[in-house]
Amino acid sequence: MERARTALSALLPGRAARRVLERAVEAEGLSEDQLDGERMASLLLGRVYHDLRDTLPRATLRRELKRLARSLHDPVAAPAQPAAVPAQPAAVPAAASPGASESARVRFAGDAEDVLMALAVLEGVDGTAVFDDVGRALSTRGEVNEADALGRVIAAGGSLLLRHGELRSLCVTTTGGSLIAVPVPPRWLAVSGAPDMNLGAVYAALTALEEER
């Protein structure tokens, strides 16, 4: 927790940073002794982000919390230091594009939270979620606008498309944002982000997660 407080102090006074973290921990019914890197990363992208998004510039807040969450989620990552990070992720090979990717065949081997976190910390991704077969949100990381309504649309539309063959993934891009939805029977995995979200990077991450299983 001290590591997260130190990093947050780049955005808030030290005491304020500690209070924000303490409120988030208390709201989750946890104690400081129960906090590991995974749980703290989840708190940063969830409750801490929602507590501060109307106080600090959202783009800066999201960028810094993602950077810190990545360092906490990855046990071998170097300690996070308050510093700017690239606004766009590195380019990925063309083979990772939606049309050619096998990444949609993701499985949850009891570690859905790891999958959500691995995707949520990608640059350009606003949030990730897992929905059940009727679209109810089971778990989210980051910011997923109107998650319940989005889940129902994904579940209904996906079920319809499945009647016409195996569905690898859904990808929708509008002027307001981008969405990738992947069937993980009997659930759905969704990744939402900005209109210029690097779709290839998301598919590449999904491929890497699949190869680990």
**pTM for the full predicted model:** 0.60
Give the DSSP letter of residue 44: I
How far is the C-alpha of 46 from the C-alpha of 62, rounded, in Å? Answer: 11
Res 92: pLDDT: 36
Enumerate long-range contacts of 1-9, CB under 8 Å, 24 or more apart. 1/25, 1/32, 1/35, 1/40, 3/72, 3/79, 3/80, 4/40, 4/44, 4/68, 4/72, 7/64, 7/68, 7/80, 7/81, 7/82, 8/48, 8/68, 9/82
Tokens of 170: 């859904």
Q: Which CATH superfamily is domain 94-211 in?
A: Dynein light chain 2a, cytoplasmic (3.30.450.30)
Is 35:21 a contact under the CB 8 Å cutoff?
A: no
**What's residue 108's pLDDT?**
54
Q: Which of 30-39, 88-97, 157-166 has the lowest mean pLDDT?
A: 88-97
Helix, strand and coil in the chain, % to nearest 5: 45, 15, 40
Residue in 21, 26, 16, 27 with CA at minimum distance from that of residue 4 = 21
pLDDT at 94 over 50: no
Q: Which pLDDT score is estimated for 190?
A: 93
Specify the range with the lowest mean pLDDT, choosing from 42-51, 73-82, 138-147, 177-186. Answer: 73-82
Q: What are 192's strand-pairing partners?
A: 127, 179
Does position 66 have pLDDT exceeding 90, yes or no?
no
- Domain range list for the chain: 2-73, 94-211
